[in-house]
Chains A and B, each alone.
Chain A
Amino acid sequence: MDPTELSAALEEHHGAASGWALTCCGWDGVMAEDVRQASYLKVLEGRAAFAGRSSFKTWLFGVIRRTAAEHRRQRLLRRMVPLGPRERARESAWGDPAAELERTESVAVLLAALRALPARQREVLHLVFYQDLTIREAADVLGISIGTARTHYERGKERLRDLLSGERP
Chain B
Amino acid sequence: MTDDRFERELRERFGALRAEVERVTPAFGLRPRPAKRRGATVWLAAAAAVVLIVAGRLAFFDDAQSQAYTFDLAGAYWTAPTDFLLNTPGLELLSEVPEIDVNGLVPVPSPPGPETTDTVLEPRRSQS
Q: Are A101 and B39 in contact (CB-based, < 8 A)? A: no
**In the complex, which residues of chain B have a beta carbon less than 8 angstroms from the beta carbon of A125?**
10, 14
Given A107-B17, A130-B17, A100 contacting B24 (CB threshold 8 A): yes
Per the bound structure, the CA–CA distance linking A90 and B16 in Å amounts to: 29
Q: What are 11 A-B residue pairs whose CB atoms fall within 8 Å in the complex?
A: A15-B18, A15-B22, A19-B21, A83-B39, A93-B26, A106-B16, A107-B13, A107-B16, A161-B1, A161-B6, A165-B1
Residue of B whose beta carbon sits closest to that of A90: B34
In-complex Cβ contact of B21 among A10, A33, A40, A101 (8 A): A101
In-complex Cβ contact of A37 among B13, B31, B37, B40 (8 A): B31
Q: Is the interface of A mostly helix, strand, loop or mixed?
A: helix
**In the complex, which residues of chain B have a beta carbon less than 8 angstroms from the beta carbon of A101?**
17, 20-21, 24
Minimal beta-carbon separation of A142 from chain B (angstroms) = 17
In the complex, besides A97-B25, A104-B20, A130-B14, 19 extra interface pairs with C-beta distance below 8 angstroms are: A10-B28, A14-B25, A15-B18, A19-B21, A33-B26, A40-B30, A41-B30, A81-B40, A81-B43, A83-B39, A106-B13, A107-B13, A107-B17, A107-B20, A125-B10, A129-B11, A129-B13, A157-B6, A161-B6
Per the bound structure, the CA–CA distance linking A100 and B22 in Å amounts to: 11
Write the residues of chain A forming the contact surface with B, with a CB cutoff of 8 angstroms.
10-11, 14-15, 18-19, 22, 33, 37, 40-41, 44, 81, 83-84, 86-87, 93-95, 97, 100-101, 104, 106-107, 110-111, 125-126, 129-130, 157, 160-161, 164-165
